[in-house]
A = this chain, B = another copy of it.
Amino acid sequence: MMNDKPASLSEFELIRRIRQQAGTAEHLILGIGDDCAIQQQQANQELLTSTDLLIEGIHFDLRWTSLEALGRKSVAVNLSDIAAMGGTPLSLFLAVACPAQLNSDQLQQFTQGFLSEAEKYSVVLAGGDTCRSTGPLMISVTVQGTVSKGRAIRRSGASPGDAIYVSGSLGDSALALQLLQQGESPPSQLADRHHRPQARVALGQQLAAQQLASAMLDISDGLLADLGHIAEESAVGAEIELSRLPLSNRFRAALEVDPQRLDLALTGGEDYELLFTSKVQDLSQHPELKPAVTRIGVITTEREINCRRPDADLYQCSRGGFDHFA
């Protein structure tokens, strides 16, 4: 174990330690320790790349997030972007600006969480940068992956009449955060949806391989905001049937206490489920899709997003999606 004070941990020493733990991969010709990582390319594959920021006080709160879970989440939310294209994640690049009060034990916990999660998805840490932060802890992760030529699923492919599907269940992460912010302890399954999201990589790959999705993204800003992104990029609208929203038993129980919580499933965000459109009107014939997907609505011509209540009236949502810039 490392118990030295943060001031004694130099940039080079930290990089040396991470480098020792980073592992290897067949496609990685040269990893951490030079000016650039060097990787093989394949002509029949296209390169996918995405960058995510995680800033203390904006995206996470160390009062209720462990450094280990934060390391895991930094990986999962980034891989979720590769999943959202139907791709295979391969390499991660990690940049961390670290406040002085974080000791090297905590840094080690973060690194362990990060590397364990990467290993779970067979992804290698191929490079990065570290320095002191004069303010909050700041994490920037870049992921690279591949997808067979022309098979990436974009946001722009939805057409009127396409069915709208979502994987897993919605709102659990936002409900857990709401409870944490109110000083309550959410049950562990709920807390895990917030602290330890899963990237739906295998599902995304299935949808791409079978060409089942016309448009797709992962839900980070909330169902309605993210459906809005598909609608905008595809120049279409959408209608959601509220009765069809996939909700966990725990979420349904919380909903009975406070019906307003339905908005957490619509706009809470950080679900990291896949939201996609499909020409196939009934995907229940595809049990290989895991987690199970639920049809929640239909793409429309009118360029607006509507939520239909069970009584057929339109539902007015009380809050917008999450804006990291607000």
Chain A residues proximal to chain B, CB less than 8 Å: 7, 9-12, 14, 29-30, 33-43, 45-53, 55-59, 81-82, 84-85, 87, 91, 93-98, 126-136, 138, 140, 142, 144-147, 152, 154-156, 217-218, 233, 323-326
Question: Looking across the interface, which residue of chain B has its beta carbon closest to that of A45?
Answer: B41
Report the copy number of this chain in the oligomer: 2
Given the known A-B contacts A145-B36, A217-B35, are A9 and B325 also in contact in the complex, defined by CB atoms under 8 Å?
A: yes
Give complex CA distance A45, B38 in Å. 10
A59 to B138, CA, bound (A): 15
Which residues of chain B come closer than 8 Å to A11, judged between CB atoms? 323-326
A91 to B156, CA, bound (A): 22
B131 near A218 with CB under 8 A, answer no
Most buried by B among A37, A46, A131: A131
Shortest C-beta distance, A269 to chain B (Å), equals: 12
Given contacts A12-B323, A38-B46, 17 further A-B contacts (CB under 8 A): A11-B323, A12-B325, A14-B325, A30-B152, A30-B154, A35-B81, A36-B84, A38-B147, A41-B146, A49-B127, A49-B144, A53-B97, A58-B134, A93-B142, A131-B325, A132-B325, A142-B142
B95 and A51 contacting across the interface, CB-CB below 8 Å: yes
List, in ascending order, chain B residues with CB within 8 A of A134's CB. Answer: 55-58, 135-136
What 7 pairs across the A-B complex have the smallest Cβ distances?
A135-B135, A11-B325, A140-B140, A131-B324, A57-B134, A41-B41, A43-B43
Indicate which residue in B10, B85, B91 contacts A36 across the interface (CB closer than 8 Å). Answer: B85
Q: Which residue of B lies closest to A81 (CB)?
A: B35
Interface pair B43/A41, CB less than 8 Å apart: yes
Docked pose: A12 CA to B220 CA in angstroms? 13
* A233, B34: Cβ atoms closer than 8 Å: yes
Taking CB atoms, residues of chain B closer than 8 Å to A7 are 326
